[in-house]
Amino acid sequence: MITTELTIINKLGLHARAAAKLASTANRFASDIKLTSNGKTVDCKSVMALMLLAAAKGTDIKLECNGSDEELAMTEVTGLINNRFDEDE
């Protein structure tokens, strides 16, 4: 299991489109991928669960990947978050 701390930096936070993109990316991997914010941990493969975090811009999150492809999953998901979910800003 590997973990990292990140900050949501895109203007609109973890809104519907960003949550869908994050879940789509996470679903490409066999590993369990969890996101924790404000003491609440959710499965990154669920759009609805991600949206329930209500993670606005500036929210600190913890990303946890556990499984056979955890390193690749961590790289891809971290890249997506750090690239503002590929949104223009």
Please give the pLDDT value at position 51: 94
pTM confidence score: 0.94
In the predicted model, is pLDDT for residue 27 greater than 70? yes
Q: Where residue 68 falls among pLDDT bands split at 50, 70, 90?
A: very high
Q: Which of 6, 9, 12, 15 is catalytic?
A: 15
Helix (H) or strand (E) holding 16: helix 16-26
HSE-CB for 68 with a 13 A CA cutoff? 3
Tokens standing for residue 68: 């056979």
% of the chain at pLDDT higher than 90:
96
In the predicted model, is pLDDT for residue 32 greater than 80? yes
Does the annotation mark 40 as catalytic? no
pLDDT digits (tens, 9 = 90+) for 37-58: 999 999 999 999 999 999 999 9
In the predicted model, is pLDDT for residue 89 greater than 70? no
Please give the pLDDT value at position 87: 87
